[in-house]
Amino acid sequence: MPHIDSWIPVAPGSDFTIYNLPYGAFAHKGGVRLGIAIGDRILDLYALGDAGLTEGVCDRALLMATSLNPLLAAGPAIWKKLRLHLAALLRGDDRGDASLRERNADGFFVEQRAATMVVPMEIGDYVDFYSSLEHATNLGKLFRPNSEPLLPNWRHMPIAYHGRTSTVVIDGTPILRPNGQRTPANSDGPVFGPSQRLDIELEVGFVTGPGNRFGEPIPIGRAREHIFGLVLVNDWSARDIQAWEYQPLGPFLGKSFATTISPWIVTLDALEPFRTNGPGQDPAPLQYLRGSDRSAYDIALAVDLSTEKMREAGVAPITISRTNFKELYWSMLQQLAHVTVNGTQIRPGDLYASGTISGSQPESMGSLIELTENATKPIHVPGGEVRGFLQDGDEITLRGWCEQGEFRIGFGTARGRITPAR
């Protein structure tokens, strides 16, 4: 791939090269504006549209909106056209469009470090899958020790449940340790209090573009047209609350207190060079779930931990897990075909998370309950502390990126620090 630079400086190793151009939203004078990340800056799409610099590309109302939903509804043809235009405005060689560069560019850019990012879409429905074979097997062993870990339905469909949309929060939002019912080992019945088994789940979620008509399933061959892009997702989980409440209707308060997403939606168009094959599936799925070859994405993922003591001592975060999104058993196309096969309506801005992404190696697990084998093999952190589950003051950072030589795009971070229970 030929190397292209932007005239906006992009530091080596930046997630936000000109190949990326992910979409987000930031607070602006009491309102919200949409933007594109480039290097350390945000290109203000409101300003761009307002200045007439997208004329002939798309209705500028899409860019001057306070959420991405209108642009999500516009569909892939508009997305591609806009992407090409933005790349032309930002490329540094003489093959671009100089109209932005020739203006006083200062009015069009905001420093990322000075911006307060917000969740960029109105989320109609949030669905959380369970699509990692390794994670489903590991959790089955821990939650149902006396039976077969993988339930009989798992290899036939991408299992999922609906999560809470009101508590999907942006990178950096403090995570309040939840109170709830749990059943300590030496207790007669449930007790109430702060969760003692606060955990993370490393996930990647997709954000939908145009919806379907109510009653009309999206065939797997058309599913890609309904996916705009991806974000990192931390599905914070209170394992003790979850274990006591989850039968028979699934997770509820053990998950609903917070779900953190990264601020930038990396588009499928940007991820296209990293599209690859997922793992084989055995048995072959039913017909409506077939035809998703080369629908995995090679996205490296990492989980970093820092404790309060580490930060006080000036010690850098440690990486406690590394895995890859391409390991998932069920693809996003299969997930979307499955969700809509009963006629369910999806809408622009829905969030569909992958479920915890765990690899086959001990250091590639996407949750603490797996990494520490339910706190029986705690993680040793610098300074002599150990961690089974999260303590107050701990900060977790999810990272994700794609690389081929010098060509790199990334997701930024999905961070959250634990604050004490009320």
Contact 236, 198 (CB under 8 A): yes
Measured from the CB atom, is 157 or 379 closer to a second copy?
Answer: 157
C-beta closer to a second copy: residue 94 or 192? 192
Using alpha carbons, select from 208, 209, 210, 204 the residue that is nearest to residue 234: 204
**Contact residues for a second copy, defined by CB under 8 A:** 124-125, 130, 140, 143-144, 151, 153, 156-157, 159-167, 169, 176, 178-181, 189-192, 211, 214-217, 238, 241, 244-253, 256-258, 283, 286-288, 338-339, 341-347, 350, 422
Catalytic, 338? Answer: no
Shortest distance, position 411 Cβ to a second copy, whole Å: 24
**How many residues appear in the chain?**
422
Order of strands across the sheet that contains 318-324: 175-176, 407-419, 395-404, 300-306, 318-324
| CB 381 to a second copy: min, Å | 27
CA pair distance 259, 200, nearest whole angstrom? 10
Q: Which is nearer to a second copy, 164 or 311 (CB)?
A: 164
Task: Tell me the closest approach of the beta carbon of residue 341 to a second copy, in angstroms.
Answer: 6
For a second copy, give the closer residue by CB, 15 or 199. Answer: 199
| Shortest Cβ 346–a second copy spacing (Å) | 7
**CA gap 355, 365 in Å, rounded:** 12
Nearer to a second copy, 44 or 128 (CB): 128
**Active-site choice (135, 156, 226, 338):** 135
Would you say 317 or 348 has its CB closer to a second copy?
348
Q: What whole-number distance in Å separates Cα of residue 262 and Cα of residue 234?
A: 9
The distance of closest approach from Cβ of residue 271 to a second copy in the complex, given in angstroms and rounded to an integer, is 26
Residue positions annotated with a catalytic role: 135
